[in-house]
Chain A
């Protein structure tokens, strides 16, 4: 191991953004034939480091060496030409083009200025089959395939550009278990073929399952590089967070579920359903109760939440909130004390070009009506309160929200809704793509809210998380509510069984 020379070496990398030191004196090594996980909290500098590598950002100081030769990467094309390819979580391909074309566009086999379609399709099919074990019709447009396949296609494209270094940026965030398995098989195969893979993820299990080595960043600084086998999980977490904290383990198990049984019903849905989205389901939520919604990707979790919030119109069933309130439209739902944090933070939640302060007061302002403006002083006060309470970083209310990391953006969103004093908070994947520290903070916050009498509908792909926070768990499968578990029935085993369909039909 010691004699091998790294294919990629980054030394003393510095990068400064206006007001933020994104990277200072960071180093990184990548050897051929290894999977190297880059770990760090939100804001640790992972994305920045990757963007430096892919040529999206230029560095202020430091050097990058590829195969012992110093290189300066000036743009995405440069990086690709040098042999550094990246596959992002959001698949960056063209959904309207065929699979084959997506792999080869820009480098199509040409003859006399004419694209050789037959050759192109055959080459694509061969590439996918040999290197990805994927047998699909490559002439179909990309959008007909699920995200997992699209990601493999993106990797195939990257490999075809004779990649020496493959960067996988959060590739597993939107994949289900089987799809992750498939991706890992491909990664293992590529690794054995000598490719160097840089892997970024928030799932600790996956880190240990696939990586050989781990580099940890914290606050834009290099913490260390470790062999995965020599770094116990708890140590990894503490190094990432920088405190000797067993955060997640220490979270109190939700107490007094029994007490909440006494409280009144806040919302009741009766055979609520929408064709093609979710089959009719019953669901009641008591005051102060946390109801977890578990299920695989595409099982109808978000669809159910959208019905409850009035974002989609149900085609059957009824929904009553409190005493006779309804949620036919989001506006009505908000008036009745329901708040909905969408899983699509970027698209449906935050407004990029506004500051933290403006994003926080948005919902409050809307509920007050546009003519009763909230004074600047009051706004800053409110923002200050939430920044402190939720530990939003940077603690500057006038920072633009687009400069925040995912976890902090999520906290701002939460603050926005908390400000309206909701009775029921619907959280759709509130911890997706954010790090452990922020995750724990959000979970804690959810629990303390429930103690104050706020009900929460908690949607998450992470079973562990759902189990930890929920008083009751509703399991969805294939767009159907299949089980409701509470108290002692709630265990990883029982929920998984329900998700997998072992229990009842």
Chain B
């Protein structure tokens, strides 16, 4: 059953399919399962942050701190590993830190009623700044566990392979999907984005949901940071600059409304894949600057925002307008 509200996501999927097929016709060697899998391998961390971001945006908020939290995670991980800590402690620690960082921002947003934009902007500067307190240089990671994870290829039937990071990302995706559609937390997130005032009056746990959403995003950022260390094998304060914007772009291209209340994780997945496929096409082209990725993504964003506008102005996606003033 094709419902109206599913339209944007179908546009996203169709666009991805179109791009992949177009690339396959233009470049030899493009049309292969491995190219498709590489999209996942190269964007596993982006997928993880974008999943957290999807929840935040569905709840009607935004989280600008995610890129910085990734960088901070790589810094803390690499420093502690250098000091001889075991990954068994390092990884849970950074995940916990991400959770707490997100939770703190969520608490400030909720209890002081401050716009998420400004709170997470502060969080972004704070996390990025903390990186340089640790070190201004790149710290390489040569712990056996990390290099092993980085080099492990999980072979799939047919001889293709993915990395462990991809498995982590897909696991997060499955968990998030379940959370969004089959748990109260997920549904409360949608309700919150639909109408916060109503959510309060309906007796939903608004505080818990809102803080939980930012905690989840913080956790996802930290996890993406861990995956990023597997990918880069280093910690550096300049890692993942602007990644928050890539994540937001992926979510929006995936059909999630920036105003909250509408959106699907599957859309986000394809939003990430579209960004990946653009990069792949550009690298196959060979002569184009990688900045073309940004240009194409910029154009796509315009297109999708206009598309959303079209859908929301045609249908009554807008909030019910309060028809009357105060009464007594």
Residues of A at the B interface (CB closer than 8 Å) are 40, 42-48, 76-77, 80, 86, 88-97, 101, 105-106, 108, 110, 113-115, 117, 140-141, 143-144, 147, 150, 157, 169-170, 173-174, 343-347, 349-350, 402, 404-406, 409-410, 432-434
* Bound: A402/B204 CA distance, A: 27
Residues of B at the A interface (CB closer than 8 Å) are 3, 5, 178, 181-184, 187-188, 190-191, 193-195, 197-204, 261-262, 315-317, 319-328
- Whether A48 pairs with B320 at a CB distance below 8 angstroms is no
Taking A115-B187, A144-B315, A405-B328 as given, write out 8 further A-B residue pairs in contact, using a Cβ cutoff of 8 Å, ordered by the A residue number: A89-B323, A96-B190, A115-B181, A150-B320, A173-B324, A344-B323, A406-B327, A433-B325
- Whether A94 pairs with B183 at a CB distance below 8 angstroms is no
- Whether A433 pairs with B327 at a CB distance below 8 angstroms is yes
Known: A97-B187, A115-B182. A143 touches B202 (CB 8 A): no
Tell which of B5, B188, B190, B325 has the most Cβ of chain A within 10 Å: B325
Nearest chain A CB to B310 CB, angstrom units:
14
- By a CB distance below 8 angstroms, the chain A residues around B201 are 76, 86, 88, 92
- By a CB distance below 8 angstroms, the chain B residues around A144 are 315-316
- By a CB distance below 8 angstroms, the chain A residues around B199 are 94
- Whether A97 pairs with B316 at a CB distance below 8 angstroms is no
- By a CB distance below 8 angstroms, the chain A residues around B181 are 115
Q: Which residue of A lies closest to B262 (CB)?
A: A96
Known: A96-B262, A114-B182, A157-B202. A432 touches B324 (CB 8 A): yes
Nearest chain B CB to A415 CB, angstrom units:
15
* Bound: A251/B188 CA distance, A: 52
- Whether A45 pairs with B328 at a CB distance below 8 angstroms is yes
- Whether A92 pairs with B202 at a CB distance below 8 angstroms is yes
- By a CB distance below 8 angstroms, the chain B residues around A90 are 320, 322-324
23 residue pairs A–B, Cβ–Cβ below 8 Å? A40-B328, A43-B328, A45-B328, A76-B200, A80-B203, A86-B201, A90-B323, A91-B320, A93-B195, A94-B194, A94-B195, A95-B194, A95-B317, A96-B190, A96-B193, A96-B262, A105-B184, A105-B187, A150-B320, A406-B324, A409-B326, A432-B323, A433-B324
* Bound: A77/B200 CA distance, A: 9
- By a CB distance below 8 angstroms, the chain A residues around B190 are 94, 96-97
Nearest chain A CB to B323 CB, angstrom units:
5
- Whether B327 pairs with A170 at a CB distance below 8 angstroms is yes
Tell which of A106, A110, A432 has the most Cβ of chain B within 10 Å: A106
Nearest chain B CB to A25 CB, angstrom units:
18
Nearest chain A CB to B71 CB, angstrom units:
34
- Whether B184 pairs with A405 at a CB distance below 8 angstroms is no
Tell which of B201, B325, B328 has the most Cβ of chain A within 10 Å: B328
* Bound: A80/B200 CA distance, A: 12
* Bound: A40/B328 CA distance, A: 8
Sort A-B residue pairs by CB-CB distance and give the 6 closest, nearest first.
A94-B194, A345-B325, A96-B194, A96-B261, A47-B328, A433-B324
Q: Which residue of A lies closest to B263 (CB)?
A: A96
Q: Which residue of B lies closest to A173 (CB)?
A: B324
* Bound: A110/B320 CA distance, A: 30
- Whether A97 pairs with B200 at a CB distance below 8 angstroms is no
- Whether B326 pairs with A346 at a CB distance below 8 angstroms is yes
- Whether B324 pairs with A346 at a CB distance below 8 angstroms is yes
* Bound: A89/B320 CA distance, A: 11
- Whether A406 pairs with B328 at a CB distance below 8 angstroms is yes
* Bound: A207/B155 CA distance, A: 74
Nearest chain B CB to A161 CB, angstrom units:
8
* Bound: A276/B246 CA distance, A: 38
